[in-house]
């Protein structure tokens, strides 16, 4: 199965209509302009979390995409110098060696300090001395830089509670002072999950009018007007035909992927994909193959080998081939090579699944994720997944794509 990979519809046997014009998808624009003279810009909430609403009516701006989207390469991350890498690793190696040296002599001359890693009254220790060495000797020396307590909600800025230590980070005492700092260490990227202000007022108003939760599953009587409106807004924001909302971000991947692929299908996954993608791939029953992180050459080798050899034992053509990547890898801070992936998608006719859990709302000139960042038409990606927990300060996730895809998932 070569060029005919996508000859069979992925979701159903019905004909998929041509995508609507991008201008029509954004006909009821999502963003509003904020007057520079608005008094809300001077409020404490706007200073801490950023402006999220205005009291006066604002003119709506419709975001329309150009007919042709030229390829714009983002600024590449500067490579770390070899000397910096070596000195960093050597520093950690030195800490480990000194920790072993200290443990060896400490058990001989200061046994009371190592009671927690020795057998006591016939009971084995919770962790061995080797397993706890990192936390006792390496992490403990820099513990004052981590697990910083905050006062209030983690928004765009946070109030750090100052603390001091007089026993080399074994214990801390609070000074009673607060320090306002920029937050780069948690979710709620845009500050929408604030405890007071226009967002909190709207949530309280909606809860009083509509209640806290639905009394039934959506397939029965749990579908509300607000849910339908939110899905339509997500589709407009993403520039796709339709979208569906799932109540849990992890389940958005783990429970929808088995609906897309099954036995006789192939999933080719980046080796650093999130555990929810791994769980969904395993639950699907499809064959899973892994390519090296962000290595499109290795991916192409996997594709060529898989297409030419077909399924194991029978060598029949794969029913579907789906490549799964993340738009922004949170632990590495790296983007996927989206332009190359789309080029390969058009060449080998596989389906492309992009997880935008960390990129949506945080990347792009309009905050519309990896497609906006790379100036790529979102309709060139088959499945766009994202969550509301990182940038939007809410719960759940979404799948955006063609109408046929969303109807199939529903």
pLDDT digits (tens, 9 = 90+) for 10-34: 544 333 333 344 333 334 443 333 3
What percentage of the chain reaches a pLDDT higher than 70?
A: 81
Confidence band for 281, pLDDT divided at 50, 70 and 90:
very high
**Cα separation, 36 vs 70, whole angstroms:** 32
- Pairing mode, strands 334-335 and 328-329: antiparallel
**Cα separation, 354 vs 336, whole angstroms:** 9
The predicted pLDDT at position 304 comes to: 95
Q: Using DSSP, state whether 253 is helix, strand or coil.
A: helix
The predicted pLDDT at position 6 comes to: 52
**Cα separation, 311 vs 303, whole angstroms:** 12
**Helical spans, DSSP H, in 158-295:** 198-210, 225-238, 249-254, 257-260, 275-284
**Residue 352, strand partner residues:** 323
Q: Which residue has the higher pLDDT, 155 or 281?
A: 281
Q: Which residue has the higher pLDDT, 32 or 207?
A: 207
Q: Which residue has the higher pLDDT, 43 or 347?
A: 347
Helix, strand and coil in the chain, % to nearest 5: 35, 15, 50
Is 155:181 a contact under the CB 8 Å cutoff? Answer: no
**Cα separation, 17 vs 346, whole angstroms:** 19
Is residue 151 pLDDT above 90, yes or no?
no
Q: Which residue has the higher pLDDT, 30 or 97?
A: 97
The predicted pLDDT at position 38 comes to: 37
The predicted pLDDT at position 189 comes to: 79
pLDDT (tens digit, 9 = 90+) per residue, 309-322?
999 989 999 999 99
**Which residues 6+ apart lie within 8 Å of 153 measured at CB?**
188, 193, 194, 195
Q: Is 10 exposed, middle or buried (0-12, 13-18, 19+ CB in 10 A)?
A: buried
Q: How many CB atoms lie within 10 A of CB 342?
A: 19
User: Lowest-confidence range among 95-109, 181-195, 349-363?
Assistant: 181-195
- Across 302-313, average pLDDT: 93
pLDDT (tens digit, 9 = 90+) per residue, 341-392?
999 999 999 999 999 999 998 888 998 999 999 999 999 999 999 999 888 8
- Across 255-262, average pLDDT: 93
The predicted pLDDT at position 11 comes to: 44
**Cα separation, 374 vs 353, whole angstroms:** 16
> Which structure tokens are listed for 114?
């190592």
Please give the backbone phi and psi of residue 377, each rounded to the nearest 5 degrees, phi first.
-65, 120
**Cα separation, 401 vs 133, whole angstroms:** 48
- Across 68-93, average pLDDT: 72
Find, among 6, 3, 109, the residue nearest to 405 by Cα: 6
**Cα separation, 32 vs 335, whole angstroms:** 29
pLDDT (tens digit, 9 = 90+) per residue, 111-144?
888 888 888 888 888 888 888 888 888 888 888 8
The predicted pLDDT at position 78 comes to: 64
Is residue 5 pLDDT above 90, yes or no?
no
Q: How is residue 7 annotated by DSSP? A: S
Q: Using DSSP, state whether 268 is helix, strand or coil.
A: strand
Sign of CA dihedral 122, 128, 129, 132: negative
Q: Using DSSP, state whether 378 is helix, strand or coil.
A: helix
What percentage of the chain reaches a pLDDT higher than 90?
A: 44
- Across 288-304, average pLDDT: 94
Which of 37-41, 79-83, 250-254, 393-397 reaches the highest mean pLDDT?
A: 250-254
The predicted pLDDT at position 77 comes to: 52
Sign of CA dihedral 190, 71, 7, 237: positive
Is 375:72 a contact under the CB 8 Å cutoff? Answer: yes
* Number of alpha carbons in the 13 Å side-chain half-sphere of residue 3: 0
Is residue 47 pLDDT above 80, yes or no?
no
Q: Is 359 exposed, middle or buried (0-12, 13-18, 19+ CB in 10 A)?
A: buried
**Cα separation, 54 vs 379, whole angstroms:** 32
On average, the pLDDT of the chain sits at: 80
The predicted pLDDT at position 206 comes to: 85
The predicted pLDDT at position 68 comes to: 42
The predicted pLDDT at position 49 comes to: 45
The predicted pLDDT at position 306 comes to: 94
Per-position DSSP letters for 67-118, written without gaps between them:
SS----PPPPPPPPPHHHHHHHHHHHHHHHHHHHHHHHHHHHH-GGGGGGGS
> Which structure tokens are listed for 269?
């996954």
């Amino acid at each position: 199965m070569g060029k005919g990979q996508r000859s069979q519809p992925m979701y159903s046997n019905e004909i998929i209509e041509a995508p609507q014009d991008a201008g029509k998808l954004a006909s009821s624009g999502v963003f509003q302009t904020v007057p520079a003279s608005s008094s809300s810009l001077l409020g404490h909430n706007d200073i801490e979390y950023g402006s999220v609403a205005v009291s006066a009516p604002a003119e709506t701006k419709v975001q329309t995409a150009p007919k042709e989207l030229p390829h714009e390469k983002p600024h590449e991350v500067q490579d770390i110098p070899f000397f910096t890498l070596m000195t960093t690793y050597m520093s950690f190696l030195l800490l480990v060696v000194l920790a072993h040296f200290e443990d060896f002599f400490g058990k001989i001359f200061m046994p009371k300090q190592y009671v927690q890693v020795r057998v006591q009254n016939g009971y084995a220790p919770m962790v061995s001395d080797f397993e706890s060495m990192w936390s006792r000797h390496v992490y403990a020396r820099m513990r004052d830089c981590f697990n910083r307590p905050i006062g209030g909600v983690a928004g765009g800025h946070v109030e750090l509670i100052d603390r001091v230590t007089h026993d080399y980070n074994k214990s801390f005492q609070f000074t009673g002072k607060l320090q306002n700092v920029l937050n780069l260490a948690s979710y709620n990227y845009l500050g929408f999950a604030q405890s007071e202000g226009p967002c909190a007022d709207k949530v309280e108003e909606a809860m009083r009018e509509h209640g806290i939760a639905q009394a039934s599953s959506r397939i029965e009587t749990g579908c509300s007007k607000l849910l339908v409106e939110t899905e339509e807004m997500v589709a407009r924001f993403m520039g796709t035909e339709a979208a569906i909302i799932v109540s849990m971000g992890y389940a958005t991947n783990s429970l929808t992927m088995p609906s897309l692929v099954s036995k006789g299908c192939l999933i080719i996954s980046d080796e650093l994909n999130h555990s929810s993608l791994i769980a969904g791939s395993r639950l699907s029953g499809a064959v899973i193959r892994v390519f090296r992180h962000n290595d499109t050459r290795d991916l192409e080798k996997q594709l060529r080998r898989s297409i030419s050899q077909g399924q194991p034992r029978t060598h029949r053509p794969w029913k579907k081939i789906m490549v799964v990547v993340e738009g922004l890898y949170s632990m590495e801070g790296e983007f996927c090579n989206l332009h190359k992936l789309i080029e390969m998608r058009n060449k080998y006719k596989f389906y492309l699944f992009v997880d935008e859990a960390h990129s949506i709302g945080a990347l792009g000139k309009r905050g519309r994720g990896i497609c906006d960042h790379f100036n790529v038409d979102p309709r060139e990606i088959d499945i766009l997944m994202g969550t509301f927990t990182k940038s939007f300060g809410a719960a759940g996730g979404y799948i955006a794509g063609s109408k046929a895809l969303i109807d199939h998932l529903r």
